[in-house]
Structure 1
Amino acid sequence: MTNLTLADGLKLLRQKQYQTVHSQSIKLIEENVRNPLPYFLLGIIAEEHDNYAKAPELYAKAAELGPDVPYFHIYHAKVLSTLGRQNDAKANADKASKLAISDASLADTIGVVYSRAGYHELAIPFFEKAVSFEPDQANFHYNFAASAQFLGDFETAKHEYQRAVGLDGNHFRAWTSLTSMEKQTEQANQLPMLRQLFNQAEDDAEGRLQLGHAIAKTLEDMGQYEASFEWLLKAKEAKRSELRYDREAGRAMFESAKQTFVSNPKNAAEDPEDTPIFVVGLPRTGTTLVDRILSSHTEVVSAGELNVFAELVKEAAGTSTNMVMDDETFQRASVMDVSGIGASYISRNLERVQRSKHMVDKMPLNFFYAGLIHRALPNARIISLRRGAMDSCLSNFRQLFSTRYSYYNYTFDLEDTAEFYRLYDDLMAHWRNVLPSDRFLEIHYEDIVFDQEAQTRKLLDFCGLEWDEACMRFHENTAPVSTASSVQVRQPLYSGSIGRWKKYGDKLDNLKTALGDLD
């Protein structure tokens, strides 16, 4: 009889004793095929060896056979979240949340799953539990702070970020987040510490990326734009060599995306009840602002940035590539029947819609899917945000995107950013030409800033919504904001970011040359 316990198995796995755990798990299954423990341990082995096809299946089996063990549901939720299947991850976190959680790491993991899925109000109690169980773990405080920030509780967020760096002076993401929360001044800034940490992180590309961006943001806040730009270059230098943008692959993907609308007449039947609103565009060009304006309306709810549509396309395409979005997947999508994708999209988001008539999905990169969205959901509204080319490229270059996804690799080099923008501009021209004007609307960030009411009326008319004065007070919207704009969109409109590129002197001359006639 094999006497392997959950605690024993986890301890052995922490020691990387994979073969021992594997062989004992197989013996446990041979002794009792309905014992959940071996499936769970084999799931961990699969996940830690990047077998993301098998790990969810094994965790699901463990959870089915051991529904009262929180580990099984939580690890299942975690791997689904890693795979971007946020709705499924949230469903498993819900199961775990009903069980007694006495372990700080498990509580933190549930919080992270909820946070990634956009349910920050559900995440907070678990982060609070994690820091109460283990108050000396810096990352638990960081996760707590991030969700608090997204919910607009800036006082708690700042306090928890400070706790994180107090416990771990090398928690670079916490330093960066602290810097981003408020304007830095000559009298109040962390430049000496940030520079010291940057120098110490000589062999840490991710650390230098984080700290360099924090230094650049500080210098920009203090009006030192050219120095800020030099620090952006320093911040990105090491990561740029690791994560080069593949221009050839980028061109192929943009070209294939064009074909997804014009190549196949098999579109879904129009359902007047299926009226999601997609807000798309380059990141940092006003997508969050429009989302907040629309979701301030009494009949509209924001679902945040969803990967659901892209996941459904990938599932239907059945391509073997490890990327959700790529040339091969778009090629396959151009000739496939998409009639079921729209219905699946609606059903997967019913919980997020709640009782509202309309839901906003503001995943910026859905601009690649505009043609497919119209085919699958003919009654959906697609709002494309535009912003001046120079400001768009600079805002993308300035932004610290997650390095987990290669989609943002273009932001490590200004000329790559210009290349990406030119391809994006060409794709938007294509969508303008082929999509109906009552389903696809381009709106300019600058126009919203300088004529808020007229542009708000334009947005509401396009979406078939009556006027609601609350949309003019979008900054009072209390819904979570899981983007880099979480602080800015809780303030009234301001024009300070328009024409920001002009403040950088000749540092952006190469960008201007690369963009050519685009403005």
Structure 2
Amino acid sequence: MNQTPKAQVLVRQAASLLQQGFSQKAQQAINLAFQQGAASGVAWDIYAQACANLNQVQPAILGLKKAISLDGGRLDRALLLGQMLVRAGQWQDAANIYQQVIQQDDSQAKAWFGLGESLLGTKDVERALRCFSGALEREPDFPEARQRLAVCFLEKGEALKALRLLEKLISDFPDAVGPKVDYGEALRQANRYRQAQQELEKLQDHPVVGALARRRLVDVYLHTGEYDLAEQFLDGMDEVHQKEPDWILQRVRLDNIYGRNAEACERLRFLLQSEPGIANGWKQLMELTKSPLSDGELSCLKEQARLASKFGRQSTAADFHFALAFHFELTGERELEFRSLEKGNNLKHGLIRFDFDNYLSRVQPSRECYSAENIHEWSADSKARPCPAPIFILSLPRSGSTLVEQILGVHEDAEATGESDFAEQAWFALTGERSLFSAPELHRQMSAEKVEKFRQYYLAAAAEAGFDTRKRLVNKGINNHKFAGLLKAAFPEASFIDLRRNIMDVAFGCYRQNFASQLFSFSMDGCAREVALFYDNMAFWYNQLPAQEFHSLYYETLVNNFEPQVRELLAYCALSWDPRCLEFQRAKGKVSTASINQVSQGLFTQGVARWKKYEAYLGPMMDALRSHGLEPLRD
């Protein structure tokens, strides 16, 4: 169709206004052009871009589809259409667009980024991570891809990797506020609560990211026990934000803390009726009610699992299968529970592809640098710079470390620090390496001077995170047993608790827990190898250090003979008797691991020999343990 001269003038005028940044005026001009008969793909391009700039998402999508129907799917049109579909939450349609672009031109970093956004929208974090990495391979200085890669690491629970990316991004782009909000969240996930609070409070009134900063501050306050502040922030949100899933889930958690379970359940059910795709919400509902789902709720959960698998959202589908397993645990249907666990773990294992052999090739050489002679030679002079001796819990996940930490953390002379990454922070300050196991040669190069610096950096990190270093810092870092020699050299006066539990309860406990960051846990062999690594590490340390350096504690003995065991534990740690340690469940906040529900309920004796209920299905787990030198049926 030929355009009238007046329509052509209006199209050119709209294009000029758009180029100058006057999107609303450009939109008005192009609408007048349409009234004068304009019908070209270029006119619809201008209209779509103006709508996109004004955040009018659906009109922008319609305009782009019209332009494509008239003139074809040029690259710029396809990329903008994908971007608008992402904004609209039409993840699959957006993914289809970006995949078509990549098939035609694999070099397009923006297409890889857009595909990553689409996959992240469906919670397919592993595939999204690979797409953002692909974008950076093609365009290394792509700041948005760097930020979203960090978000993927946060979703996976890998806070240290996220911190490394975000610190560099903030350094390169100091005026960008988006990375700073994510940085605050990364600090929170790394248990650096004081720093997270400081960073997020700077942004809480920002016109663009303020609402997100305030929501993340609520998570900080919920962890540190500042419940009044958390409630104040939640109540202060506007009505729009109070309808969002994040707000409702935070409110549910606060209601649960205050014992308002009826209100919490009502909110959660309301949320799941409108947002049934929140897999963890289903499990949270069952934890609150302590009862299985109704028939209707179970059908809905199964349908969500089916849809997630159908549309390739394997990570989300796995989360639903873990939620189904919890339902069947509550109904006592053991086989259905186990099969759901199996499906969830298989899906996660297929996505993650964890290489245990490669991991061992870095952990064991690092450990072996700390012989008895080296530990003695490198030991820091604690008398020259006195501080209360830290308490390190050496244990596997699901061994009861949260219980022991909370018992000790109640004491007036101690402070629980959770799984805080002070050792990793100190190692980075000392060597520039984020992981303690990335470069074994750095451990071979240790010296008394370097160990002294490590000690100083460790205590500085604890102080900066808001912990009182005048107290005995209790750390239950799940990797402590892998570098106990370094900790002993840095803190010769420290107390080391060798915490163990029945190996089948530990191995199966890891397998049945939908861990975000324990990548070994999604296969039976991986669980068995991690257990075997712990026993191998502890045997190594007992060969290097006198047995009296460790306090041997068994979970089963602790929960069945509680007070005498607590007395022995306090005596070993040189802490005076404090009866409050017997009432650890009253501790204020600061439980954020997978054990939060057991700890808040008090002494959890139901965990003893729990694996025996599933013995009929755990033959492969027993075989895996035996293949790695452990006898699963020993007491």
The TM-score with structure 2 as length reference comes to 0.66
Deviations 1:393-443 (A, max 9, x none): 0100011111xx4xx222111122112211111111222332354543231
Deviation string for 1:286-322 (max 9, x for gaps)? 0111111112222222222211212321342334xxx
Question: How big is each residue's C-alpha offset from its partner over 1:305-352, in whole Å with a ceiling of 9 and x where there is no partner?
Answer: 211212321342334xxx6243x3344134222211222222222363
2:404 aligned partner = 290
Decide whether the 8 Å contact of 1:162 with 1:178 is kept in 2. Answer: yes
Partners of 1:131 and 1:140 within 8 A in 2 = no
Equivalents in 1 of 2:411, 2:274: separation in Å? 42
Instruction: Describe the SS at the equivalent of 1:62.
Output: coil
* 1:305 and 2:419 correspond: yes
| CA deviation string 1:213-263 (max 9, x = no partner) | 111112122222222111101112222111123121132233124224225
Query: Secondary structure, in 3 states, of the residue corresponding to 1:176?
Result: helix
Counterpart for residue 269 of structure 1: 381
Q: How does 1:84-99 map to 2 (within 5 A)?
A: 88-97=195-204
2:302 to 195, 208, 218: 195
**Residues 190, 420 of structure 2: 8 Å contact kept:** no
Between the aligned partners of 1:10 and 1:55, the Cα distance in structure 2 is: 27
| Structure 2 CA distance for aligned equivalents of residues 188 and 458 of structure 1 | 49
Q: Is the 8 A contact 2:498 2:550 kept in 1?
A: yes
- Distance in 1 of aligned mates of 2:226 and 2:599: 17
Check conservation: 1:313, 1:333, Cα contact below 8 A: no
The equivalences for 1:98-113 within 5 A come to 103-112=210-219
- SS of match in other structure, 2:607: coil
1:495 pairs, out of 575, 580, 605, with 605
Structure 1 counterpart of 2:422, one-letter code: V
Structure 1 342/148 Cα, relative in aligned 2: closer, same or farther at 3 Å? Answer: farther
Give the equivalent residue in structure 2 for 1:280: 394
Gaps of 5+ in 1: 20-40, 64-69
In the TM superposition, what are the counterparts of 1:421-500 in structure 2 within 5 Å?
421-437=531-547, 439-500=549-610
Residues 74 and 106 in structure 1, CA contact (< 8 A), matched pair in contact too: yes
The aligned residue for residue 178 of structure 1 is: 285
Q: Residue 439 of structure 2 aligns with which residue?
A: 329
The structure-2 alpha-carbon separation of the partners of 1:343 and 1:181, relative to structure 1 and needing over 3 Å to count, comes to farther
Tell me the distance in 2 between the aligned counterparts of 1:302 and 1:344.
Answer: 19
Answer whether contact 2:268 2:281 (CA < 8 A) is retained: yes
| Whole-angstrom distance in 1 between the partners of 2:172 and 2:570 | 47
Matches within 5 A, 1:114-513: 121=227, 125-130=232-237, 132-146=239-253, 158-185=265-292, 190-202=297-309, 203-262=312-371, 263=374, 265-271=377-383, 272-319=386-433, 324-326=435-437, 328-336=438-446, 337-350=450-463, 352-354=466-468, 357-402=471-516, 405=517, 408-437=518-547, 439-513=549-623
What code does the residue aligned with 1:339 have? Answer: E
SS at match of 2:327: helix
Q: What amino acid is aligned across from residue 385 of structure 1 in structure 2?
A: L
Secondary structure at the aligned position of 2:392 is classed as strand
Does the alignment pair 1:47 with 2:142? no
Measured against aligned partners, the alpha-carbon deviations of 1:454-493 in whole angstroms (never above 9, x if no partner) come to 2101210111111111111222323331122222112232
Do 1:397 and 1:412's aligned partners in 2 also have CA atoms closer than 8 Å? yes
Structure 1 residues 273, 479: closer, same or farther in 2, change over 3 A? same
Structure 1 position 112, deviation (Å):
4.7
Look up the SS of the partner of 1:338 in the other structure. Answer: helix
Letter of the 1:214 partner, please give it.
Answer: A
CA distance in 2, matches of 1:189, 1:221: 16
Q: Give secondary structure in 2 for the equivalent of 1:433.
A: helix
Pairwise CA RMSD: 3.8
Point out which structure has higher relative CO (alpha carbons under 8 A, 6+ apart).
1
User: Matches of 2:22 and 2:253 in 1, distance apart?
Assistant: 38
Equivalence for 2:157:
none
Distance 1:338 1:355 in 2: 18
Shift in Å, 1:368: 1.8
Match of 1:27 in 2: none
Specify the alignment match of 1:33 in structure 2. Answer: none
Residue of structure 2 in register with 1:23 after alignment: none
Aligned residues: 480
In the superposition, relative to structure 1, how do residues 237 and 124 fare at CA in structure 2: closer, same or farther (>3 Å)?
Answer: farther
The alpha-carbon deviation at position 88 of structure 1 amounts to 3.9
Output the CA distance in 2 between the equivalents of 1:452 and 1:209: 37
In the alignment, the residues of structure 1 paired with residue 179 and residue 573 of structure 2 have an alpha-carbon distance, to the nearest angstrom, of: 43
Q: Map residues 8-23 of structure 1 onto 2, 5 A cutoff.
A: none
The residue type equivalent to 2:413 in the other structure is E
Q: Who is 2:113 aligned against?
A: none
Query: Are the aligned partners of 1:104 and 1:131 in contact in 2 as well (CA < 8 Å)?
Result: no
Distance 1:304 1:182, change over 3 A: farther
State the one-letter code of the partner of 2:456. Answer: A
SS at match of 2:243: coil
Three-state SS of the structure 2 residue aligned to 1:245 is coil
TM-score (norm 1): 0.80
Q: Provide the C-alpha distance between the structure 2 equivalents of 1:458 and 1:189, rounded to a whole number of angstroms.
A: 51
- Contact 1:104–1:129 (8 Å) recurs in 2: no
Q: 1:309 to 1:147 in 2, by over 3 A?
A: farther
* Contact preservation (8 Å) 1:301, 1:356: no
Q: Deviations over 1:8-50 (max 9, x none)?
A: 99979x779999xxxxxxxxxxxxxxxxxxxxx9965652466
Report the 3-state secondary structure (helix = DSSP H, G, I; strand = E; otherwise coil) of the residue aligned with 2:492. coil
Give SS of 1:201's match: helix
CA positional deviation for 1:170? 0.9
Percent identical across equivalent pairs? 24
Q: Tell me if structure 2 keeps the 8 A contact 1:120–1:480.
A: no
Q: Answer yes or no: is the 8 Å Cα contact 1:385–1:444 preserved in 2.
A: yes
Deviates more, 1:184-193 or 1:493-502: 184-193
* Structure (1 or 2) with the larger CA radius of gyration: 2
Deviation at 1:450, TM superposition (A): 1.2
Structure 2: 5+ residue stretches without partners = 1-19, 24-51, 56-79, 88-108, 111-140, 151-164
The one-letter amino acid of 1:47's match is Q
Q: Is the 1:93–1:113 contact (alpha carbons within 8 Å) kept by the matching residues of 2?
A: no
8 Å contact from structure 1 (residues 297, 470) kept in 2: yes
